[in-house]
Structure 1
Amino acid sequence: MTTASFTNAVDSSAATERGISLYRAIWRWHFFAGLLVIPFMISLALTGGLYLFNDEIDDTVFAYRNVVAAGAERMSPSAIVATAVESVPGSVAVSYRTPAGVDRSARVTVGIGKARMLVFVDPYTGSILDRVAPSEEFNQVVEDLHSLDYFGKSVETIIEIVAGFAILLVFTGIYLWWPRQQTGGVLTVRGTPARRVFWRDLHAVTGIGAGLLIVFLAFSGLLWSGYWGATVNGKLTAMGLGYPAALWDEVPTSSKVSTDVLPRANWLMENAPVPASSGGADEPVGIDRAVAIADAEGMLPGYELAIPLDETAVYTAAIFPADLARERTIHIDQYSGKPLVDISFGDYPAFGKAIEWSINVHKGQEWGRVNQLLMLAACISIVLVSLSAVIMWWKRRPAGRIGVPPMPPRRSVYVGLWLMAIVFGLAFPLTGISIVVMVIVDQLLMRVAPVRRRLS
């Protein structure tokens, strides 16, 4: 009886030590991951929350260039384009965005060499409402800041690492939040803002409440990342799960893709090839006829029409609205006026539709105002979780020290965590590499700490 009790006590003690080791190891991972990405998470949440309302911003702050008084008769597309080109000496028209409604302006993108300029034109009077470089347009600046593209393509890869760490933070956070005899800090917040426990509970409760939304935002955001997103896009297309490549089998294609001719394309279509015009003895149909053809095919007003810049190029009409059912791209032969490729949301394979749907939800466009407010709530939660983490850490840290969570009693627990890191790294390579670096640094700290204590 005594032996049995002693054995049970030893087993219980070992299990407790293993539990403490795992908890501390995951706590350290959670701490280091948060330390790395909190500034980026706050930036993503603030810019993302602002971009959710880009249409509202255009219709209020920038109404002077987007909203016009409806007149009796619109100018022809060719006249609008000519007016825009004349306003920027030495330029040529690159694309034309048709008015989205009777009280909306037209927009012409003109270019001088590789430089581009957006020219907003009143389609009734021909007045130039505004001229702005695409990179300086407000909503584009917000989007570029959100993706870090504003700082260059090399910096943009950080987004993939941050998104992967966000997913890691949610799952490690769930483990740390999981109730272990405590009654507070699970669904309620204890104390007052003067106490650390208040910020700990606020961090935990907010994180668990918004966890699924944060994972969704991070995963759907990964689709835009330079490495992971591009790799997934290419593999889906190769497996027949991306854009329907068979639609291009019967038409000649150029070396260009959608993003080479359009200011904006959706995720699934951005790398789809652009067909080539047939050429021959026919005269070009011209922009007025191209617009009439696109309108007759049922394009939603407000679509962008890429204008051919050489003899083999095509007119490309495309629109990617909030209503996915109206999403469409048509490539029109510039000589015959024949639609060479006509693809809409209904033509996408099921997996492609699911991806486009998730992106639409990410951008707050799927269920109108409800979707916007849901994503805004997620953005606010991310800011709240991040700031509460910083305050909680600041109140906990010893004076003059970083305040890293204590090391696990059993170092063997890291074997399992290494396996987790490898699996996570296979799914998200850049984040996986960052995790490996983080674990190596942590291992070095564990070896240096005892030496420093002996020397002190």
Structure 2
Amino acid sequence: MKNRNLNQWFWKWHFIAGIISLPFIMILALTGGIYLFKDNYEAPKQAHIKTVESTGKKQSFDAQYKVAQSHSKVPLTEMVIPTGDNQATEFVSGRFSHKNSVFVNPYTNTLQGKISPKDSDMHTVRKLHGELLLGKFGTKIVELVASWMLVLILTGLYIYWPSKKEGLKALVRLRFKEGKHVFYRDLHALLGFWVSILLLMTLAGGFPWTDVFGSNFKWFQGVTNTGFPKGWDGHGMNSTTTNNNALSLDQMVNKANNLNLEGITCIVLPKNEKKVFSVYNTTFNLDLQQKFHFDQYSGKLIKAYKWSDVGILMRGRMWFMAFHQGQFGKTNFAVMLFVAIALFIISLAGLLSYVKRKPKNKIGVPKVSKKFKVGYGIIALIAILGIVFPLFGASVLLIILGEYFMKLKKA
């Protein structure tokens, strides 16, 4: 049997979490669902830049690099090895939102075009999803909303779990004939219950992008040595300069191809005459991702890393982030699209249920017995959540202080 007073207390906080979060969650669900179609949307728009007509003999990669660099305002940092004869060669500068790509026709050795994520409509969708178009302040709001989503899920699971009298049939019950309020309430609870695990997995994939939690998580990875191994990015590695004849880009492409890496293979160019060539691959099968560092003069392998060399927290983080973006093939894509649609429906049903039951001229916060005292276990859980998710902890303190001053005012 559930504790009735505890159930009511959880219901109160579930309500507060919903009031804070649901309108924003609907935006995140909608934009997240749209962003899943990023590649489908951009592919036809970028096809004239990424694909070329296969005619004649290909120019050397070194010659193509010179053309690409002449059309780039900043130094190019890496090259993506083409996987087909009809592909333009991509040279990249910058990373993440600052990434820019220059594409060269390998047959004519001329500029095929440029692509910048900032020029895409999907970039706006991503900005809306990640920061509500409000910059750093917006990322804090999204992080706060995501934190309260955890409260919604955890309290919702307890509230919805049926009593002994109701039985497990309540977990599949959707009542159509008891009014709109009951229908929306059942839809909200039923769908929320059955997708709760997927929602938690989706949140786990989104939190690493946040400012406060994300920064703390990276710090924790560092102190526990569970992130990328030292040297993964090639920092601190130097080539042994025996002469001024560095390997050509074409020679490095041959070395990279001989590695027979899965997926897309990229070559990171040396930043100066002392640094190294780095080769890595990107593939949906994270276990097959590898990274190699080569002396830019002798071509000698300095260091090789496998995905198993990466710390457990980083491996978990990257897995959940890829899952969040639907990158593990069609099934993962379909699951994440379902989660986005389900989350929007859950949020909308919750708001409609509230509107139907809301007392006139009142917010309608559920009342809890004044005699009820929260157990130490619950207090400890809230404290832990407040430490792990600092913005959530700060918001709980503000709510508690607000309630305290309201009681003083009424006294």
Hey, what's the Cα distance between the residues in 2 that align with 1:406 and 1:347? 53
Higher mean Cα deviation, 378-387 or 216-225?
Answer: 216-225
Give, in whole Å, the separation in 1 of the partners of 2:293 and 2:339. Answer: 38
In the TM superposition, what is the alpha-carbon distance from 1:167 to its structure 2 partner? 1.7
- For the structure 1 residues 193 and 71, does the alpha-carbon distance in structure 2 shift closer, same or farther, using more than 3 Å as the test? farther
Greater mean deviation of Cα atoms: 376-385 or 146-155:
146-155
Partner SS, residue 413 of structure 1: coil
1:205-284 pair list within 5 angstroms: 205-245=190-230, 248=231, 258=233, 273=235, 275-284=237-246
Q: Structure 1 residue 60 and structure 2 residue 21: aligned?
A: no
Any idea what the Cα deviations from partners look like across 1:281-321, whole Å, max 9, x if unmatched?
A: 33222323332322223344633333233333333333322
Write the distance in 2 (CA, Å) between the matches of 1:321 and 1:120: 21
- Residue 393 of structure 1 aligns to a residue in which SS? helix
1: CA distance, partners of 2:147 / 2:203:
7
Amino acid in structure 1 at the alignment position of 2:157 = I
Find 1:26's aligned residue among 10, 15, 21: 10
Partner SS, residue 212 of structure 1: helix
1:412 to 349, 373, 376: 373
The answer as to whether partners of 1:325 and 1:345 remain within 8 angstroms in 2 is: yes
- Letter in structure 1 aligned against 2:367: P
Residue 197 (structure 1) shift:
1.1
State the Cα distance separating 1:375 from its structure 2 match: 1.5
State yes or no: 1:199 paired with 2:160. no
Normalising to structure 2: TM-score of the pair?
Answer: 0.85
Alpha-carbon distance between aligned partners in 2 of 1:100 and 1:161, rounded to the nearest angstrom? 42
**1:153-185, CA deviations, whole angstroms, 9 ceiling, x for partnerless residues?**
454344433332222211100111122345786
State the distance in 1 between where 2:78 and 2:261 align: 16
- Contact 2:78–2:268 (CA<8 Å) still a contact in 1? yes
Q: Partner of 2:360: helix, strand, or coil?
A: coil
The residue identity in structure 1 corresponding to 2:63 is A
Aligned residue identity for 1:307? L
Q: What residue is the counterpart of 1:267 in the other structure?
A: none
C-alpha displacement of 1:204 = 0.3
CA distance 1:361–1:68, change in 2 (3 Å): same
Q: TM-score, normalised to structure 1's length?
A: 0.77
After TM superposition, give the deviation of residue 29 of structure 1 in Å.
Answer: 1.0
Residue in structure 2 matching 1:383, options 339, 344, 351: 344
**Partner SS state of residue 195, structure 2:** helix
| Greater alpha carbon shift after TM alignment, 45-54 vs 161-170 | 45-54
Helix, strand or coil for the counterpart of 2:151? helix
Q: Which residue does the alignment assign to 1:82?
A: 66
Partner of 1:329: 291
Aligned to 1:339: 301
Alignment match, 2:320: 358
Cα separation, partners in 2 of 1:175 and 1:284, compared to 1, 3 Å: same
Unaligned runs of 5+ in 2: none
- CA 1:107–1:40 in structure 2 vs 1: closer, same or farther (change >3 Å)? farther
Contact 1:285–1:336 (CA<8 Å) still a contact in 2? yes
Aligned-residue offset at 1:196:
1.2
1:105 equivalent in structure 2: 88
- Tell me: CA distance 1:310–1:104, structure 2 relative to 1, closer, same or farther (3 Å): same
Shift of 1:218: 1.0
Pairwise CA distance, 1:371: 1.3
* SS of structure 2 residue aligned to 1:410: coil
**In the alignment, which residue of structure 2 is the partner of 1:189?**
174
Give yes or no for the alignment of 1:316 onto 2:300.
no
Structure 1, unmatched stretches of 5+, are: 1-14, 249-256, 259-271, 452-456
Q: Per-residue displacement from partner, 1:56-80 (whole Å, max 9, x unpaired)?
A: 3343343333344444543322222
For residue 28 of structure 2, the aligned residue among 5, 26, 44 is 44
Change (3 A) 1:357 1:154: same
Matching residue's letter, 1:315: F
Task: Point out the structure with max Rg over C-alpha.
Answer: 1
Tell me which moved more, 38-47 or 194-203: 38-47
The separation in 2 between residues aligned to 1:338 and 1:148, in whole angstroms, is: 44
RMSD: 3.3
How far apart in 2 are the matches of 1:295 and 1:193? 66
Closer, same or farther in 2 for the Cα pair 1:105/1:341, shift >3 Å? same
**C-alpha contact 2:204 2:321 (8 A) present in aligned 1:** no
Q: How does 1:416-455 map to 2 (within 5 A)?
A: 417-448=378-409, 450=410
Q: Residues 147 and 389 of structure 2 are in contact (CA less than 8 Å); yes or no, is this contact kept in structure 1?
A: yes
Given that 1:101 and 1:301 are in contact with CA atoms closer than 8 Å, whether structure 2 keeps it comes out as no
Cα 1:243–1:85 shift into 2, 3 Å: closer
Amino acid at match of 2:161: W
CA displacement at 1:215 relative to structure 2: 0.9
Superposition map of 1:118-157 within 5 A: 118-148=101-131, 151-153=134-136, 155-157=138-140
Say whether the 8 Å CA contact 1:25–1:414 is kept in structure 2.
Answer: no
Identify the residue that residue 265 of structure 2 maps to in structure 1.
303
Indicate the SS of the match to 2:34: helix
Alpha-carbon separation, structure 2, partners of 1:372 and 1:237: 31
Between stretches 206-215 and 392-401, larger displacement belongs to: 392-401
Between the aligned partners of 1:423 and 1:91, the Cα distance in structure 2 is 45
How far apart are 1:374 and its partner, in Å? 1.1
The equivalent of 1:403 in structure 2 is: 364
Question: What code does the residue aligned with 1:208 have?
Answer: F
**AA matched with 2:16:** F
SS in 1 for 2:367: coil
| CA 442–215 in structure 1, closer or farther in 2 if over 3 Å, else same | farther
* Deviation of the 1:424 alpha carbon: 1.9
Matching residue of 1:269: none
How many Å separate the matches in 2 of 1:342 and 1:138?
38
Deviations 1:371-390 (A, max 9, x none): 11112111111111111111
Give the Cα separation in 1 of the matches to 2:346 and 2:100: 40
Whether the 8 Å contact between 1:185 and 1:204 is mirrored in structure 2 is: no
Counterpart residue type for residue 352 of structure 2: I
> Which secondary structure does the structure 1 equivalent of 2:172 belong to?
coil
Of the three residues 169, 175, 200, the one matched with 2:152 is: 169
- Given candidates 138, 161, 165, the residue that maps to 1:178 is 161
Aligned to 1:93: 76
For these two proteins, the number of residue pairs brought into alignment is 407
